Structures are given as C-alpha cells and as structure tokens.
C-alpha cells in the first residue's frame, strides 16, 4: 500500500484557510498546519493586552482553534527576529500602508518549504483566493511568490485551483482537481456557501486584517520611527512593540511620549519602564506615560503637561506630575496641555 500523501497548510485560522484544510482532509490528505508569528499579529497583541487588564475573556490563537475543530495538528513558527529585515528592506515594496506583503509571503513560504522537507510532506496549500487581496493574490504575483520561495508547482490553492494552472499534486493525482474550487475575487459568498455545505459552522468573522502592518495609524508611527533613526537595524525591538500601544506624541527630534489609554495599556507600559522616564499625575486618576530617558528640560515639561491632559485633573488646574527615572522620583507642577496645542505632535 502506498504511503499517505502529506501536505503542509498555512493556517491563519480564518474561514478561507479552514475551508482549504477541510477540502484537503476530505481528499484523504494527511495535513499539518503552520502558523507564523511575525511579531505583528493583531490577535497575539490583543492577547497580551488582555493578560494585563480586568477583561479576562480568553482569546486563543485562531490557527490552533481551527486545528482543534477540524482535528489536525498546527505548529506555530516564530519568525519575528528574521522578519525585521523583511519589514525594513522589502525587495518588492510596501502595500497601502507599511505591509511588505510580497516579501512577507516569500519569507513564510520559504520557511514552510523547509518545514515540508523536515516533515516528509509532499506539497503546501493555502486558503488564498485569486483576486481577493490587492497585493499578493493576483496570478502573476502568486507565480512570483511561488518561484522565489522555491515552491513552483508545489503550492496548491484549493479554493482557486481551477482558476490556476494545474500544480504537481494535481498532475500526479495526489489530489483530485475536479473536487477543488474556482473561487475568484473579493466576494465572500462562495466561501460562506461552502462553509454551510461542509458544515463548517464556527469560524472567526473577518476582522479587517490580521496584521498591524496594514493599519494606517500603526504605519504612520512606524514611518515616524524610521525617519528618526538613521540605523534601522539598531532600533530596539521594545520600541517596535510599544508602537502598538497608547497615544503617541513626537515631542522632540529624538524624543517621543507614549500615554496609556486604559488599564490594560497602562499595565503593559509599566513593563517597559526600564531605561525610560515614566510619568504619572499625583492625586488624580492618571494614565501611565513613558518617554525616552534623555529629555531636555522643555521636553520634560511638555511630557508632563500632556500626561496631565489625559488624567482626571480638570483643565486649567495645576497638576503635580511624578516623574520617575532609574528609581528616583521627582515632581513637577504643570498645567494640563490644551488639546489643540498638542494635536500636531500626534503620531
Ligand atoms: S497582511 Fe501582514 S501578514 Fe499578511 S501578507 Fe501582508 S504583511 Fe504579511
């Protein structure tokens, strides 16, 4: 008896990757899911914030949940360290925001290919649909990504396969092409109908992107960071993590202030105090604010005044701001900033 065919699926946990996995399982293919942690995944970040807040609703990794529902193993692969080069020097440029989607897919597929070889699998599949996303899901781009990741002919897109040239798994008869789909474009209807047909009833609703890099305001902060750092490779990773949290103000050429927006963010910021200045308003409900350690006198006043603006201190009333640096606390009396005066500093 011939050995069972094995495939590696790129699983986000969304409906498309679940349906692709289900189509493979229904053809008797043995599958292992992989999910890549780039460090920019929205649900990972939400999980971190919730861990630090009163909201204890469980938010599990969606890829793991999908694997558990459809009964196949899913491995999470951390590529966050090497991903920085992809993000700062994308060969194929950025999408609408700071999303280097083509380079990102090449990176993921190249790593998935290694995983395929390590696990004696024969091919890779994804839930991609041709024409669904502007940057990576056009035919030519898909061909480019497959070529650059060394997966030509071995990358199967079960939801769009009949719109694409036959792949090796189809030509060799490992999968039956006639049972694959020919979905095209942005409409979700065919996927929803297929989910009903296959009785895939629980799946996450599309949340407008899974990745911070497609978020307009996050992209603005990242570009601001790139502009103010000559050497992108030397940017501490903590600074990148902090871009996801709070309100950001550029208060000087080399100085930035981050002000927490809620309890979860305040607790999150507390963990990043080391090597920074932290600010809190005394005697009133106050956010936690963090700034770079080497502020000028003017920048310190400005940081204190902006922190006071987001505290419960009434406008026009003097606030006492406690400023902590290396375990030493000083106090500064300031008036809360006037919103219109600081709007231009918002990043
Ligand atoms: S949206 Fe984010 S995770 Fe998805 S391909 Fe683009 S950069 Fe990569």
| Per-residue pLDDT tens over the stretch 29-43 | 999 999 999 999 887
Report the percentage of the chain scoring pLDDT > 90. Answer: 79
| Interacting residues of 120 by C-beta distance below 8 A, sequence separation 6+ | 6
Query: What is the Cα Rg of the chain in Å?
Result: 24
Q: Tell me which CATH code domain 6-209 carries.
A: 3.40.50.620
CA 41 to centroid of ligand 1, rounded, Å = 9
Judge whether residue 55 has pLDDT over 60. no
More confident call, 51 vs 130: 130
Number of H helices, E strands in the chain: 13, 11
User: Helical H runs in the chain?
Assistant: 15-26, 42-51, 62-70, 80-88, 101-118, 139-148, 168-171, 189-197, 216-227, 237-242, 263-270, 297-309, 339-342
pTM of the model: 0.85
Which protein residues touch ligand 1 with a CB less than 6 Å away? 38, 99-101, 104-105, 136, 211, 213-214
Q: Give the number of the atom of ligand 1 that is nearest the alpha carbon of residue 135.
A: 6
Is the pLDDT at 1 greater than 60? The verdict is no
Ligand 1: atom nearest CA of 99 is 7
Question: Over the stretch 259-274, which tens digit does the pLDDT of each residue have?
Answer: 999 999 999 999 999 9
Q: Which pLDDT value is given to residue 237?
A: 86
CA-proximal residue: ligand 1, atom 2 (nearest)? 211
The CA-CA-CA angle for residues 261, 266, 267, to 5°, reads 145
Report strand pairing: 255-259 vs 289-292: antiparallel
Residue 58: pLDDT above 60? no
What are the CA-CA distances from residue 253 to residues 250, 256, 298 (Å)? Answer: 7, 8, 13
Query: Which pLDDT score is estimated for 48?
Result: 67
Measured in residues, the chain has a length of 347
Atom 5 in ligand 1: residue holding the nearest Cα: 101
Which candidate, 165, 159, 162, places its Cα nearest to that of 140? 165
pLDDT at 61: 84
Residue 318 Cα to ligand 1 middle (Å): 46
Mutate to test the pocket of ligand 1, among 105, 126, 148, 207 (most ligand atoms within 8 A of CB): 105
Mutational pocket test of ligand 1: of 14, 101, 207, 218, the residue with most ligand atoms within 8 Å of the beta carbon: 101
Of the candidates 107, 226, 313, the one whose C-alpha atom is nearest the C-alpha of residue 337 is: 313
CA 212 to ligand 1 centroid distance, Å: 9
Residue nearest ligand 1's atom 3 by CA: 211
Closest CA to 4 of 25, 26, 30: 30
> What separation in Å is there between the alpha carbon of 314 and the centre of ligand 1?
43
What pLDDT score does 59 carry? 56
Atom of ligand 1 nearest to the CA of 108: 8
For range 66-91, the mean pLDDT:
95
Q: Where are the domains of the chain?
A: 6-209, 245-345
Instruction: Tell me: pLDDT of 151 over 90.
Output: yes
Residue 42's pLDDT is 81
**Residue 132: what pLDDT?**
85
**Nearest CA residue ID for atom 1, ligand 1:** 211
Q: How far is the CA of 215 from the centre of ligand 1 (A)?
A: 11
pLDDT classification of 78: cutoffs 50, 70, 90: very high
Residue 133: the pLDDT is 77
Mean per-residue pLDDT for 230-248? 91
* Cβ pair 50, 56 in contact under 8 A: yes
Mean of the per-residue pLDDT values of the chain = 92
Q: Is the pLDDT of residue 50 over 90?
A: no
pLDDT tens readout for residues 168-222: 999 999 999 999 999 999 899 999 999 999 999 888 876 556 789 999 999 999 9
């Amino acid at each position: 008896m011939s050995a069972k065919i094995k495939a590696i699926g790129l699983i986000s946990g969304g409906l498309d990757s679940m349906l692709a996995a289900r189509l493979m399982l229904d053809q008797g293919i043995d599958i292992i899911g992989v999910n890549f942690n780039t460090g920019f995944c929205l649900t990972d970040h939400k999980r971190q914030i919730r861990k630090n807040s009163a909201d204890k609703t469980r938010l599990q990794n969606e890829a793991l949940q999908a694997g558990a529902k459809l009964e196949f193993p899913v491995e999470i692969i951390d590529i966050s360290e090497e991903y920085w080069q992809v993000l700062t020097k994308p060969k194929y440029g950025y999408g609408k925001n700071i999303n280097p989607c083509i380079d990102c897919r090449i990176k993921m597929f190249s790593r998935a290919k290694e995983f395929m070889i390590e696990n004696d699998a024969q091919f890779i599949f994804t839930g991609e649909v041709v024409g669904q996303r502007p940057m990576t899901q056009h035919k030519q781009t898909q061909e480019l990504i497959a070529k650059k990741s060394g997966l030509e002919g071995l990358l199967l897109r079960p939801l769009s396969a009949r719109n694409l040239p036959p792949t090796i798994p189809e030509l060799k008869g490992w999968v039956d092409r006639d049972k694959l789909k020919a979905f095209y474009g942005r409409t979700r209807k065919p996927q929803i109908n297929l989910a009903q047909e296959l009785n895939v009833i629980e799946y996450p609703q599309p949340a407008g992107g899974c990745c911070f890099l497609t978020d307009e305001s996050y992209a603005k902060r990242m570009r601001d960071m790139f502009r103010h750092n000559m050497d992108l490779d030397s940017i501490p990773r903590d600074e990148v993590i902090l871009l996801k949290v709070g309100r950001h103000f550029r208060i000087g050429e080399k100085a930035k202030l981050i002000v927490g927006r809620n309890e979860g963010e305040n607790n999150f910021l507390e963990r990043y105090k080391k090597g920074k200045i932290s600010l809190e308003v005394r005697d009133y409900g106050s956010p936690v604010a963090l700034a770079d350690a080497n502020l000028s006198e003017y920048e310190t006043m400005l940081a204190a005044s902006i922190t006071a603006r987001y505290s419960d201190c009434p406008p026009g009333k003097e606030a006492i701001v406690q400023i902590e640096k290396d375990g030493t606390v000083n106090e500064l009396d300031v008036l809360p900033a006037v919103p219109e005066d600081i709007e231009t500093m918002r990043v």
